[in-house]
């Protein structure tokens, strides 16, 4: 679409807002670190946790000067790159990491006990996980490539592949951080004026397949529906990492409750699905199982703030299963400033999201390529965090849930829309950034909540 004049008021008609992002003692000899800001809800102070992480450019703490702006103009300030969540890197041989000595096998039919016992004897191994005709094996003597060769020679096998590892990709509401105008992300995509059309509905469910969610967080506990812990096979998907809680808060942190942050939607429910370990990684099997569980238990939208650079048949099957069941799938493009296709974002059934910074430019860490569909804010996004805290994080992991929240609002406005129609509305109403039309950095452009909801036939 052509560019048009759009005004974004951040916290009303104000000339400038000084937002103090961080104070820390920095070692000038270090060029690898990250600053994570956590706002303690009890004493209203920021806690700064500095850890090593690759960063380029201006990474020192700074003061951002965010003006009430007209879209297309630069938002004043110095961007501190904070790609807090990264995908697993390619190796020199263009492979992704996987659990060694393990293999994921899809049989043409469910193997019986006799067949399994014979296989275990031949590979000197164990069954780690078993779901219908899909089995994860571990060998005590064979490598993963050797296991794949073994199973591919069997006529009973549909496919065999490594058990890949996926990593995280990190109104006038009276919520504290929104009122204090820390949440630059919501006004810039016209969320508040979009709420005039709909604020969401409780029967539209957005699944977050991630590290779980802090089930006791005051800004989230009333927004949750029944979830699932894939890792421990129980119904207690509590977050032991923080990433999933942050993603969930961007989507549906309780709004207008005088607590911390405002979410994209006031009333949509979050379905927490824990498919990633406390270290921030998950296997193909667990994530695919999490997607399938979410579909089978009524998810209307699934957010996947995670990725890997290696295609997986098992993951693709899970994605296709969700799409065939009319679920809208949203995924982060990744944080390596790379054009390598990342999965599941680049599957055709998935809406892939890149990240923008305060200047409306592609965030310096954001992956890009012809598979990117739209862009959303992804730098210093305040949200909920585990242990009932708040954090400002950056990454395409933070951009993706903005789009998932918008998909939930669209389905709230008209639940009869197909997933394809929801995706088309999001893309067609996006505000064009970069070269005119579709491009590799922003896809169709920055999501526009108001325009998207106006394009929906309200039901």
Which residues are identified as catalytic?
210, 243, 397
Q: Rounded to an integer, what distance in angstroms lies between the CA atom of residue 394 and that of residue 366?
A: 10
Q: What is the 3-state secondary structure (H, E, C) of 316-338?
A: HHHHHHHHHCCCEEEEECCCCCC
What DSSP element (H or E) covers 252? helix 243-252
- Residue 220 DSSP one-character state: T
Question: CB burial class (10 A; 0-12, 13-18, 19+) of residue 316?
Answer: middle
**Ramachandran region of residue 128, left (φ > 0), alpha (ψ -120 to 50) or beta?**
alpha
- Cα separation values, 403 from 110, 251, 303, 351, Å: 38, 8, 9, 9
Alpha carbon distance 386, 276 (integer Å): 15
The whole-angstrom separation of Cα 176 and Cα 179 is: 5
β-partners of residue 160 are 105
Strand ranges (DSSP E) for 286-417? 301-304, 306-307, 328-332, 350-356, 374-377, 381-385, 389-393
């Amino acid at each position: 679409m052509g560019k048009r004049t759009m005004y974004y008021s951040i916290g009303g008609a104000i000339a400038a807002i000084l937002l103090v992002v961080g104070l820390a003692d920095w070692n000038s000899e270090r060029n690898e670190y990250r600053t994570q800001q956590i706002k303690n809800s009890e004493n209203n102070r920021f806690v700064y946790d500095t850890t090593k992480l690759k960063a380029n450019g201006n990474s020192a703490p700074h003061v951002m000067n965010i003006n009430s702006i007209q879209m297309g103009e630069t938002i004043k300030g110095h961007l501190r790159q904070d790609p807090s969540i990264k995908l697993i890197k390619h190796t020199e041989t263009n492979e992704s990491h996987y659990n060694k000595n393990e293999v994921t096998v899809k049989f043409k039919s469910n193997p019986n006990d006799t067949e399994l016992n014979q296989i275990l004897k031949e590979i000197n191994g164990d069954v780690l996980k078993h779901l219908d005709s899909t089995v994860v094996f571990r060998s005590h003597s064979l490598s993963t490539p050797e296991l794949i060769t073994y199973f591919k020679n069997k006529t009973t096998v549909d496919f065999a592949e490594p058990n890949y590892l996926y990593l995280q990709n990190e109104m006038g509401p009276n919520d504290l951080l929104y009122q204090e105008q820390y949440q630059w992300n919501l006004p810039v995509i016209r969320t508040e004026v979009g709420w005039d059309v709909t604020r969401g509905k409780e029967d539209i469910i957005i699944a977050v397949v991630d590290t779980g969610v802090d089930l006791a967080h005051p800004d989230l506990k009333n927004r949750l529906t029944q979830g699932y812990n894939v890792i421990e096979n129980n119904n207690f998907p509590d977050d032991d990492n923080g990433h999933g809680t942050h993603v969930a808060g961007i989507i549906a942190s309780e709004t207008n409750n005088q607590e911390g942050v405002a979410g994209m939607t006031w009333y949509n429910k979050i379905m927490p699905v824990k498919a990633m370990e406390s270290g921030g990684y998950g296997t193909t099997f667990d994530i695919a199982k999490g997607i399938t569980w979410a579909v089978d238990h009524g998810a209307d939208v699934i957010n996947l703030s995670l990725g890997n650079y290696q295609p997986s048949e098992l993951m693709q099957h899970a994605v296709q299963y969700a799409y065939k069941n009319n679920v809208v799938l949203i995924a982060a493009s990744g944080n390596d400033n790379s054009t390598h296709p990342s999965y599941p974002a680049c599957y055709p059934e998935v809406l892939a999201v890149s990240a923008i910074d305060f200047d409306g430019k592609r965030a310096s860490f954001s992956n890009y390529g012809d598979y990117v569909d739209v862009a959303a804010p992804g730098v210093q996004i305040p949200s909920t965090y585990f242990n009932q805290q708040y954090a400002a994080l950056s990454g395409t992991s933070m951009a993706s849930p903005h789009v998932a929240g918008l998909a939930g609002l669209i389905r709230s406005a008209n639940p009869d829309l197909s997933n394809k129609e929801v995706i088309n509305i999001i893309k067609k109403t996006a505000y064009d950034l970069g070269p005119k039309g579709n491009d590799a950095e922003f896809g169709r452009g920055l999501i526009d909540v108001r325009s998207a909801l106006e394009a929906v036939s309200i039901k």
